[in-house]
């Protein structure tokens, strides 16, 4: 209570300290929160786009056994094939729970996935927008006949699907149970494991495949974003250092302007340790106040960002505790020197300073 | 209780040594009520600072309860400061604390303390306990400063021009309080240049050029 009262009375002297530490803390928190949000979203987008898988596209079929070898080695469960429908090639892409994420968003009509429990319905299908005319299917839940099998249309892919694969307009997406029927001229292989490119090259011939390692793309992008975050964090910690220099300077000048108070307390029996403790506790309290103010500022800024950009940046102060604690420790330990200086002031110095009596 | 033997305190002024205490000899008995008088610059305040333990002498001896203060450790010095209460002309109250908090401030650093209400009643400041120093008159402020000394059971009170900022009535009131405290067994040493104030003490010590002259 005494401490709060003392800090409150001296508030004008602490404004500069509070402002400087708030700027530093807000910078660190904002950099961390926003960059974490970006990284998390990139990660999520990659997952939604199915980019957490590796993909290989064959340009030419070499032998009959390669599919089985690749499937066995890379745990490939889904693949696609071109299928000629009335003289035209259509891609038929099978999907599993990983690849299916590609199709769970950007749908204007319906959802591709209609899970029944944890299983997908085998005789359901999603068709590309060009194919709706071909199949004469303009609404969901229509039934179409494809290669002698009747499928229920659970999704119609409209244009503007932002996918890794460029045109899905002329694609048919079918589910696991039927994929096997279309594997003979397979083109795409997807796997949760990383392809060994040298093996694929040896197996298929150097120019006969197109290799997309989406994980690599994702990892390098995430690594880049992490690097940017770390650089920004380092820069904001530079601002912390600048603030601390400012705080130490301010604390030192505070001490000399508070000589009378120190003198009175010492005359009343305060020891050097009492004065030292008081200044350290004051600095901790000031930084705690700064942290609370900074959190409120960050909260307001993030709300504003969410409101103006229609994003949903989440504020997780708990995950930022390590940074906050680090700043608190650095800042408080920087006040050790001013506190020590204050504790070493003698009563006679305060008297000679004409402040005391 | 307090003995100064050939005490010397030098200050450097314009590269020349100025003797604020010039081989000063002084004995202050227990329960004394003494006024130290003299012109400005005669060494009164320096003597007070030395006795209070704020400053140390350059030469000679200072005995407190028969112990050589020059040989005191930091802890013992701190104990000496805690044993002696000092009252100043400009009261030295902390503006941001109430009267009550100002009085209790001393108890933050000391174990022994008296009942606040008893002390406040004795000094007639019961009704101003929750006020701030800026709301008090000079006389009230000085009584609060005295209360701050009393709350921690000081046996000696040194007062540096305690009535310097007060009108005549308030000055007399403060001196009456000092007399009352002295009757209760507290040693009072007042530094003043006011002969009227000094005449209210049991003993007057005159100083000139850093020495006691009577």
Extract the tokens encoding A281.
């506790």
Q: What is the mean pLDDT of residues B135-143?
A: 90
The answer on pLDDT for A111 being more than 50 is no
Nearest-Cα distance to chain A for B55, in Å, is: 6
CB nearest to B92's CB, from A8, A346, A357:
A357
Q: What is the mean pLDDT of residues A117-125?
A: 51
Q: What is the mean pLDDT of residues A27-40?
A: 85
CB nearest to B110's CB, from A5, A266, A269:
A269
Q: Considering all CA atoms of chain A, what is the largest pairwise distance in Å, rounded to the nearest integer?
A: 106
Extract the tokens encoding A156.
């119609």
pLDDT score recorded for residue A195: 60
CA angle A110, A115, A116 (to 5 degrees): 130
pLDDT score recorded for residue A356: 39
Domain annotation for chain B: domains and CATH numbers: 29-57+79-208 (3.40.50.300)
pLDDT score recorded for residue A174: 55
CA angle A115, A116, A117 (to 5 degrees): 100
The answer on pLDDT for A213 being more than 90 is no
pLDDT score recorded for residue B144: 92
CB A348 to CB B106 under 8 A?
Answer: no
The answer on pLDDT for B121 being more than 80 is yes
* pTM of structure: 0.66
CB nearest to A261's CB, from B49, B82, B94:
B94
| Helix A11-48, helix A214-257: angle, nearest 10 | 180
Q: Which helix (H) or strand (E) holds A235?
A: helix A214-257
Q: Name the residue ranges covered by the structural domains of chain A.
A: 2-44+220-352, 54-213
**B 6-45 residues inside an 8 A Cβ radius of A:** none
A117-121, A132-136, B28-32, B179-183: lowest mean pLDDT where? A117-121
Using pLDDT thresholds of 50, 70 and 90, give the confidence band for residue A172.
low
Where residue B36 falls (left for φ over 0; alpha for ψ -120 to 50; beta otherwise) is: beta
Percent of chain A with pLDDT over 70: 57
How far, in Å, CA of B154 to CA of B110, rounded? Answer: 11
Extract the tokens encoding A267.
């005359």
Residues of A in contact with B52 (CB under 8 A): 267, 347
pLDDT score recorded for residue A215: 65
Q: What is the mean pLDDT of residues B172-184?
A: 90
Output A309 or A293, whichever has higher pLDDT. Answer: A293
Extract the tokens encoding A168.
């899905």
Q: Residue A79 — φ and ψ, nearest 5°?
A: -155, 180
The answer on pLDDT for A47 being more than 50 is yes
Output A182 or A350, whichever has higher pLDDT. Answer: A350
ipTM confidence score:
0.88
Using pLDDT thresholds of 50, 70 and 90, give the confidence band for residue A81.
very low
Q: What is the mean pLDDT of residues B101-114?
A: 80
CB B54 to CB A271 under 8 A?
Answer: no
CB nearest to B49's CB, from A266, A269, A348:
A348
pLDDT score recorded for residue B204: 93
B51-60, B102-111, B169-178, B190-199: lowest mean pLDDT where? B102-111
Residue B95 forms contact with A (CB below 8 Å):
yes
């Amino acid at each position: 209570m005494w401490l709060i009262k003392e800090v409150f009375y001296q508030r004008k002297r602490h404004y500069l300290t509070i402002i400087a530490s708030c700027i530093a803390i807000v910078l660190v928190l904002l950099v961390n929160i926003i960059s974490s949000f970006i990284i998390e979203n990139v990660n999520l987008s990659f997952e939604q786009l199915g980019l957490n898988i590796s993909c290989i596209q064959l340009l030419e079929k070499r032998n009959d056994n390669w599919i089985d070898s690749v499937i066995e080695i890379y745990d490939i469960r889904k693949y696609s094939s071109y299928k000629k429908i009335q003289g035209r090639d259509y891609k038929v892409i099978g999907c599993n729970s990983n690849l299916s994420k590609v199709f769970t968003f950007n749908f204007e009509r319906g959802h591709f996935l209609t899970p029944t429990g944890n299983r997908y319905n085998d005789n359901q299908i999603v068709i590309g927008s060009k194919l709706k005319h071909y199949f004469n299917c303009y609404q969901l839940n229509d039934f179409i006949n494809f290669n002698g099998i009747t499928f229920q249309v659970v999704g119609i892919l409209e244009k503007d699907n932002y996918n890794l694969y460029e045109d899905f307009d002329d694609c048919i997406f079918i589910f696991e149970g039927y994929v096997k029927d279309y594997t003979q001229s397979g083109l795409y292989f997807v796997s949760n494991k990383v392809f060994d490119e040298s093996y694929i090259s040896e197996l298929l011939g150097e120019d006969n495949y197109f290799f997309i390692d989406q994980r690599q793309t994702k990892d390098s992008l995430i690594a880049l974003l992490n690097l940017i975050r770390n650089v920004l964090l380092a820069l904001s910690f530079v601002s912390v250092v600048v603030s601390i220099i400012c705080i130490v300077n301010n604390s030192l000048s505070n001490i000399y302007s508070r000589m009378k108070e120190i003198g009175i307390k010492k005359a009343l029996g305060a020891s050097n340790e009492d004065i030292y403790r008081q200044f350290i506790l004051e600095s901790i309290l000031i930084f705690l106040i700064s942290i609370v103010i900074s959190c409120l500022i960050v909260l307001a800024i993030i709300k504003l960002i969410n409101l103006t950009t229609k994003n949903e940046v989440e504020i997780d102060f708990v995950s930022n505790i390590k940074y906050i604690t680090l700043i608190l420790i650095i800042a408080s330990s920087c006040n050790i020197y001013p506190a020590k200086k204050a504790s070493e002031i003698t009563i006679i110095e305060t008297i000679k300073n004409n402040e005391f009596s | 209780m307090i003995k100064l033997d050939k005490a010397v305190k030098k200050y450097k002024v314009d590269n020349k040594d100025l003797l604020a205490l010039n081989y000063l000899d002084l004995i202050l008995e227990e329960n004394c009520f003494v006024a130290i008088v003299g012109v400005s610059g005669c060494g009164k305040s320096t003597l007070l600072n030395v006795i209070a333990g704020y400053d140390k002498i350059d030469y000679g001896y200072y005995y407190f309860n028969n112990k050589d203060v020059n040989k005191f450790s930091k802890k013992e010095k701190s104990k000496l400061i805690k044993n002696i209460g000092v009252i100043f002309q400009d009261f030295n109250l902390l503006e941001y604390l109430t009267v009550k908090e100002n009085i209790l401030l001393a108890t933050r650093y000391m174990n022994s303390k008296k009942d606040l209400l008893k002390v406040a009643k004795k000094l007639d400041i019961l009704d101003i306990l929750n006020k701030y120093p800026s709301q008090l008159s000079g006389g009230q402020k000085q009584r609060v400063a005295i209360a701050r000394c009393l709350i921690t059971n000081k046996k000696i009170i040194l007062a540096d021009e305690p009535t310097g900022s007060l009108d005549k009535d308030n000055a007399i009131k403060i001196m009456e309080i000092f007399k009352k405290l002295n009757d209760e067994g507290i040693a009072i040493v007042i530094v003043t240049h006011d002969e009227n104030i000094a005449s209210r003490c049991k003993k007057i010590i005159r100083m000139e050029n850093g020495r006691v002259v009577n």
